[in-house]
Amino acid sequence: MSVATAPAPSVVPSAALSSNLSADMLPVLRERGQREVFCGLTGIVWLHRKVQDAFFLVVGSRTCAHLLQSAAGVMVFAEPRFATAIIEERDLAGLADANEELDRVVRRLLARRPEIKLLFLVGSCPSEVIKLDLSRAAVRLNAGLGGDVRVLNYSGSGIETTFTQGEDACLAALVPVMPASDVSQLLIVGALPDIVEDQFRRLFAELGIARVASLPPRRAKDLASVGPGTRFLLAQPFLGDTAHALEERGAVHLPAMFPFGAEGTTAWLHAAAEAFGIDEMHFRSVVAPGRERAKRAIARHAERLAGKSIFFMPDSQLEVPLARFLSNELGMELVEVGTPYLHRSHLAADLAALPAGTQLSEGQDVERQLDRVRAARPDLTVCGLGLANPLEREGLSTKWSIELVFSPVHGFEQAGDLAELFARPLVRRDRLAV
Ligand code: SF4
């Protein structure tokens, strides 16, 4: 089952609140019903590429293995850094000691792959159903491995979660093992493609912020320290648990718009510049070239996108900042902005920049939401893979939300590509119509 559906009881959504200029008062439709989302295992697809000496061992079923293999594709030049320890029927029936079997699988894996320095045991729906305690398994394995490899665990289960929560759970699992330090530093939180991370690091260096670290690191040994001197920027809006764990360790969150487009990226960089006392004129001179390049790249797509209507189904949790970008920087009209979870404080700056009266929805009742899509017939619907084909068949243009998580879309240099991702389905539709 690559698509996790949670048939929770359908509850009549709370009535929309009155529209108001304040972000706190934007109308929110709260829904709890059938969901159509991928599970948190999906995060392994981008996380295993980011942390180059980590291995992700899913403790799950053949279904979990199929999801991973089809989502991550086949790696031709390297052995994959993920696998599934399949829970067989005799494990489920309690006929085998699942802990002993897991230890055996891990020992065999580590003997064959000495380059692994960080091993994540990733829980799934089946491991949760049989109540296999992976946190105890991690403690047991760490004790037996003598410090050569660190074993951590998190859950990627699809029960009541959405696919980007896999990254949040993974990063939150790293926080307790970050070394303690009072050093003054900026921490970028969220798995960005290396090329994007390097662009940001260059900008921070030009600004004069001397010490910059990233979570996750590219290699296990480079795991950043954390403490009261750490100020952190979230690169992704779906990292609520990680942010909370960092705050528990004394780090301070820098609230900002997310770095999408010229405006979002400027605001995100500015939050760090302000926190580190960077002179305002210096800040402007450093960001001006990138900001101008981003604006020019975005402008190439504005003609196609301005005035077009867009509907976001709740899926990636990127919906609010992307809606802000498309509305403010490209002139698109927001029909509805659905998101699985609305983290009001992390999204405050983007919410405040949405047009007055923007219809937000939190949670999902997929049939009701599809009814609203069909009634509105937006120019573009951003949704999960499972919903895209049926909507396309009904003559509606769609964009897969998961593509926005896989693609490099943050920062000045990617702003034009991000706009193009939304323009492309409309170009295709126009070509087909000719
Ligand atoms: S973790 Fe759950 S939802 Fe995800 S593939 Fe496995 S069984 Fe399906």
pLDDT tens digits along 296-335: 999 999 999 999 999 999 999 999 999 999 999 999 999 9
Least confident interval from 1-10, 110-119, 221-230: 1-10
Is 1 touching ligand 1 by the criterion CB < 6 Å?
yes
Angstrom distance (rounded) from CA 414 to CA 398 = 21
Nearest CA to ligand 1 atom 6: 64
Looking at the chain, the whole-number percentage of residues with pLDDT higher than 70 is 91
How large is the average pLDDT for residues 118-127?
A: 95
Nearest CA to ligand 1 atom 2: 125
How large is the average pLDDT for residues 194-221?
A: 97
Say how many Å lie between the CA of residue 125 and the centre of ligand 1. Answer: 5
Reported as a pLDDT band with limits 50, 70 and 90, residue 91 is low
Q: Which residues have C-beta within 8 Å of that of residue 26, sequence separation ≥ 6?
A: 17, 19, 20, 351, 354, 357, 358, 360
How large is the average pLDDT for residues 64-91?
A: 77
What 8-state DSSP symbol labels residue 164?
A: T
Please, what sign has the CA dihedral across residues 383, 397, 236, 233?
A: negative
CATH superfamily of 23-36+295-433: Nitrogenase molybdenum iron protein domain (3.40.50.1980)
Q: Among the residues of 113-193, which ranges form H helices?
A: 125-129, 134-145, 165-174
Evaluate if pTM is beyond 0.85: yes
How large is the average pLDDT for residues 103-115?
A: 94
| Average pLDDT value for the chain | 90
Angstrom distance (rounded) from CA 164 to CA 44 = 10
Angstrom distance (rounded) from CA 433 to CA 290 = 37
pLDDT recorded at residue 2: 28
Ligand 1 atom at minimal distance to the Cα of residue 125: 2
User: Do you know the residue count of the chain?
Assistant: 434
303, 330, 399 from 299: Cα distances, Å: 7, 8, 20
Say how many Å lie between the CA of residue 61 and the centre of ligand 1. Answer: 8
Say how many Å lie between the CA of residue 378 and the centre of ligand 1. Answer: 32
Is 411 touching ligand 1 by the criterion CB < 6 Å?
no
Is 67 touching ligand 1 by the criterion CB < 6 Å?
yes
Do strands 150-155 and 252-253 pair parallel, antiparallel, or not at all (unpaired)?
unpaired
Residues 10/340, Cβ–Cβ less than 8 Å: no
Reported as a pLDDT band with limits 50, 70 and 90, residue 159 is confident
Say how many Å lie between the CA of residue 14 and the centre of ligand 1. Answer: 30
How large is the average pLDDT for residues 385-411?
A: 93
- Where do the CATH 3.40.50.1980 domains begin and end in the chain? 23-36+295-433, 40-157, 185-280
The CATH number of 40-157 is 3.40.50.1980
pLDDT of 361 higher than 90: yes
The CATH number of 185-280 is 3.40.50.1980
Q: Which residues have C-beta within 8 Å of that of residue 228, sequence separation ≥ 6?
A: 182, 250, 251, 252
Say how many Å lie between the CA of residue 362 and the centre of ligand 1. Answer: 23
pLDDT of 14 higher than 50: no
Residues 27/5, Cβ–Cβ less than 8 Å: no
For residues 128 and 229, the model is more confident at 229
Nearest CA to ligand 1 atom 8: 1
How large is the average pLDDT for residues 156-167?
A: 88
Residue 367, exposed/middle/buried by CB under 10 A (0-12, 13-18, 19+)? exposed
Residues 5/34, Cβ–Cβ less than 8 Å: yes
Ligand 1 atom at minimal distance to the Cα of residue 126: 7
How large is the average pLDDT for residues 356-375?
A: 93
pLDDT recorded at residue 135: 96
17-35 per-position pLDDT tens digit:
333 345 556 789 898 888 7
pLDDT of 11 higher than 50: no
Reported as a pLDDT band with limits 50, 70 and 90, residue 395 is very high
pLDDT recorded at residue 146: 80
Nearest CA to ligand 1 atom 3: 158
Say how many Å lie between the CA of residue 183 and the centre of ligand 1. Answer: 41
pLDDT recorded at residue 93: 65
